[in-house]
Structure 1
Amino acid sequence: MKAAIIGLGVEGKKALNSLLKHNWDVYASDLNVNIKMDNLPISLAQVNVSPSKDKITFQKDNLTIDLGFNNQEIINSADAVVLSPSIWGSRIAEHYKNSGKLLCDVKTKHRDIFTIGVTGTNGKTTTVSMIKEILENAGKNVLVGGNGGGGFEGYYDLILEADEEEYDVLLIEVCDMTVGFCRYCFDFDIIALTNMGNDHMDVHGSMEGYKDSLKEFFKDKTIFLNKNPEFPESFKEEFIGISKNTIEYGETDYEIDLFGRFNRLNAGLSQSLSEYINENVFEIDEEIIKTSLENFKPVKGRLELLKLNDCTIYIGKSDNSDAIKVILDEVDFTAIFIGTPRHNENHRLDILNEVVNANPDAIILFPGLEDTLDQAIYRLGLLNYDGRIEIANNLDEIVAFVAEFSHDPAIFIGGNGQETIIKIQDRLREIADSINESDYECD
């Protein structure tokens, strides 16, 4: 079959790889010529490149990519069309939705599977991973995916995989920016909200705008809400008013091997949702829920605690002000290391407001998603931070600063740049393990 992909953002690239994996002929296009070709199964050395002024065409085997233009004739002849969730709600999205040629309307088996969605600003990936372990330990075949930021293959991979295999449960991490797209493409039986925080305000405009998008998503669904939400009580009342059924959750009572109240809430949501499934859908033994949560280990890139010399290092992605605040509220840190956001994400610099409020002795900045160090330094100046400010330009420099502070009680490494933070985690874990082994041999 032939598919046409319009837009080569994160989800477009993931869709391209998934379609090729499932043996489709793929045409992909983007009006932007300056698309990064990383994470795609091509290189300039492998393909025929046909540049023409501001247009470029790549061709290799069953893949064609046009940059700078769309070949409408090829798109119209495709068996299915794939749209980037970022253009959902646009005129072009409405056109293809009405045509019946969207991939989710051509392949529909995924809509027959019991489907759980987990959305919110923070905690989605951890909660999805907890629920997955519970369900799989209960003997269910679970297909997991969704939001690219969670490290999954993407929404379209779910549709393609579900079409070829038999699954008991479809478990989807839903980015707060894609709720309209997901509401159309998937048939959710349960939707869980982890929290609402200060992120993607460039898209939502305000918390009110974010709330309104969730109201449409929750309409006539069974939803799970925190019984003591940090967002306004009026929001919660509106969500309850439009949902079919509302279940409230709190922190788990189980002893989990994760730091922080926010993780106890993630576990509480996973526990409550699993208990609901046990009562209303299929059997899950209570002991399975308990042992799954108590044995759960941190998701790679999320908050993890490492021990180095006398110091406990708290390290994990925390890419918005609400995500970092809940950590800084629980621990006093001597030094805080922060990865910087993209150039167009000024709202994520609000992380530094929370860091300055915590008043560490030192703030170490490093390039996270992009090198916006100058913007971060400028923000710290506006905030009148009078502590020590350092720049770590690479992994070796980050490790050197960590070593300097490794005899203090606690330091934090977070902010933006999940891939960068995972590399730091891996390096520090190697160092810590090496030191521990050396100490053991000396003993």
Structure 2
Amino acid sequence: MTIKQLVEKLDYTLVQGDVEREITTLVYDSRKVEEGSVFVCISGTVRDAHEFIPDVIKKGAACVIVEKDVEVNDDVVVIKVENSRKALAYMAAAYFGYPAKEIKTIGITGTKGKTTTTYMVKSILESAGIKTGLIGTIETIIGDKKIPSANTTPESFVVQKYFREMVDAGLDAVVMEVSSQALKLSRVEGFTFDIGVFTNLEPDHIGTNEHKDFAEYTYCKSLLFRQCKKGIFNGDSEHVEEILKGHTCDVLKFGYNDSNDLVAKNVELKKTHGELGVKYHVSGECDFDVEVNVPGSFSVYNSLTAIAICNYFDIKPGIIKNALKNVTVKGRIEIVPVTKRYTLMIDYAHNAMSLESLLKALRKYEPKRLVCLFGCGGNRAKARRFEMGEVSSKLADLTVITSDNPRNEEPMDIIADILTGVKKADGEYVTIPDRKEAIKYCMENALDGDIIVLAGKGHEDYQEIKGVKHHMDERELIADIIKENPNLDL
């Protein structure tokens, strides 16, 4: 591949050198540069990659992509761009042969619901024989290959690399979570999504290293709908019109409101022995009954999203219904079948907003008691501990305070902070620092009809203590507790 082919979609200035030069690799990590590489200088929040130009030239870089004026040897090609992150996205697409043109791409953005909806969509599409990859918060799935995720949406180079692997593996579609940070940092530029989805919007990710304010957060979310062919929107969201500003896609809306294209009617909470879920009838562009074994009104929205997406693939209602009834997502309101006496579930809720949403949804099922077990991560904002403690104390009948990932803090110091919030309300509480013992306490003391939520860890299978990640999977802890105390599963 030549430099010219690599930069064919870019607006750039050739500062020096010949763009007909052949190159070997495209790199944005200076440690991976080799003879003949093109090195993209990203101006990061921690380090500015322009600093590494002397090092990459010593390693044999053929070309550097820069945002600033630099001085290098005459034999190095220098290309100047306005935004090197955006340039990387377009170059990565070219480098991997524009794989998005060979696979159906579905991007889902929103404050909540992205992870669950991606798995719902993958389940339905695969039930219909459409081989589907997934990129998201928990993992990337390419056929039988699973890759743990570091970010909700990877860097643009990695996105394109995964697309290429999916195409080469014979996949037909990919469904991915698209974070506001990814949109802000051009991680999903360089191609057009076939389908873009907006789930909902609430104040989140506002801070020094994320978005300066809610307006920027909203704007970044809206960018997805300027680079997709078909747009699917939660029409009930108070922010939908802001998200629609500047859109260039076809529009389909879903929700409870009759003005939407897909409408959930006759919604019922489904409660059977040890299981919770929702039932409703979808009308409008589709017309059939739906049953989802995941509790909460957000399950209605998530499943409506999945139905809207799959409707574009002309999938028969029977396949959609069966897939939705059987879908489960690791760590997202994941019900662990233990006994019919009470319901035990694992969820990733790890801030006050998500915990409040979860507990309010579960309260509607009128449990004998709502029991909430959680801890908070160390070396993170203390405000989260106070807030989560207060929310749990207000909404749960019993709060069981334990450890999450204490990192470099003492677990009891974190628990003391959580207790400050707990005591602002009047819920009962106990403190049990050892997470396995805390779970055992919940199971041993469960009353018939209780709903017990193990919050905070979700899909994680480790506990981080003093810089070391120790294996810890709550599903395994539950199984061990039952093995040690066989009567607990009666």
Flag whether TM exceeds 0.5 (same fold): yes
Preserved CA contact (<8 Å) 2:196 2:225: yes
Distance in 1, matches of 2:131 and 2:63, equals 29
Matches of residues 8-407 of structure 1 in structure 2 within 5 Å?
71-73=55-57, 77=61, 94-95=83-84, 97-98=86-87, 102-112=91-101, 113-147=103-137, 151-152=148-149, 155=154, 156-164=157-165, 165=168, 166-180=170-184, 181-202=186-207, 203-219=210-226, 221=228, 222-229=230-237, 233=238, 235-243=239-247, 244-250=249-255, 251=264, 253=281, 254-278=290-314, 284-296=315-327, 298-306=328-336, 310-329=341-360, 330-331=362-363, 333-341=369-377, 343-345=379-381, 348-349=384-385, 350-368=387-405, 370=407, 373=411, 374-375=413-414, 377-378=416-417, 380-381=419-420, 384-385=424-425, 387=427, 389-407=429-447
SS of structure 2 residue aligned to 1:237: helix
The one-letter code of the counterpart of 1:163 is: R
Distance 1:139 1:396, change over 3 A: closer
Which of the numbers 472, 475, 478 marks the counterpart of 1:428? 478
The one-letter code of the counterpart of 2:353 is: D
State the 1:213 CA deviation.
0.9
Distance in 2, matches of 1:30 and 1:219, equals 24
Distance 1:5 1:199, change over 3 A: same
Structure number with greater CO (CA < 8 Å, separation at least 6) is: 1
Preserved CA contact (<8 Å) 1:147 1:174: no
The one-letter code of the counterpart of 2:331 is: G
State the 1:107 CA deviation.
1.6
SS of structure 1 residue aligned to 2:312: helix
Write 1 or 2 for the structure with the bigger share of helix.
1
SS of structure 1 residue aligned to 2:176: strand
State the 1:343 CA deviation.
2.5
Distance 1:323 1:362, change over 3 A: closer
Distance in 2, matches of 1:337 and 1:217, equals 36
- What's 1:415 paired with? 456
- Summarize deviations over 1:411-431 as a string: whole Å, max 9, x none: 221025641587113321454
State the 1:289 CA deviation.
1.2
State the 1:302 CA deviation.
1.8
Preserved CA contact (<8 Å) 1:369 1:416: no
Preserved CA contact (<8 Å) 1:146 1:173: yes
Distance in 1, matches of 2:434 and 2:480, equals 17
State the 1:352 CA deviation.
3.2
Preserved CA contact (<8 Å) 1:318 1:415: yes
Distance in 2, matches of 1:438 and 1:142, equals 39
Mark the runs of 5 or more structure 1 residues left unpaired by the alignment: 9-15, 20-24, 35-65, 82-90, 279-283
Distance in 2, matches of 1:259 and 1:433, equals 28
State the 1:146 CA deviation.
4.0
Mark the runs of 5 or more structure 2 residues left unpaired by the alignment: 1-23, 66-79, 141-147, 256-263, 265-279, 282-289, 463-471
Preserved CA contact (<8 Å) 2:86 2:187: no
The one-letter code of the counterpart of 1:72 is: V
State the 1:335 CA deviation.
3.3
- Which structure has the larger Rg over C-alpha atoms? 2
The one-letter code of the counterpart of 1:415 is: G
- What's 1:50 paired with? none
SS of structure 2 residue aligned to 1:182: coil
Preserved CA contact (<8 Å) 1:141 1:168: yes
Distance in 2, matches of 1:220 and 1:189, equals 9
State the 1:127 CA deviation.
0.8
Distance in 1, matches of 2:378 and 2:199, equals 25
Distance 1:215 1:26, change over 3 A: closer
Distance 1:269 1:379, change over 3 A: same
State the 1:224 CA deviation.
1.6
Preserved CA contact (<8 Å) 1:367 1:393: no
SS of structure 1 residue aligned to 2:417: helix
Count how many residue pairs are aligned between Structure 1 and Structure 2. Answer: 375
- What's 1:22 paired with? none
Distance 1:26 1:290, change over 3 A: farther
SS of structure 2 residue aligned to 1:406: coil
The one-letter code of the counterpart of 1:239 is: I
User: 4+ runs of 1 displaced by more than 6 Å?
Assistant: 25-32, 78-81, 433-440
The one-letter code of the counterpart of 1:299 is: V
Distance in 2, matches of 1:385 and 1:137, equals 47
TM-score using structure 1 length: 0.70
- Summarize deviations over 1:55-111 as a string: whole Å, max 9, x none: xxxxxxxxxxx9x97733268717899xxxxxxxxx999236447884334224322
The one-letter code of the counterpart of 1:304 is: E
Distance in 2, matches of 1:413 and 1:285, equals 36
Distance in 1, matches of 2:193 and 2:60, equals 30
SS of structure 1 residue aligned to 2:189: helix
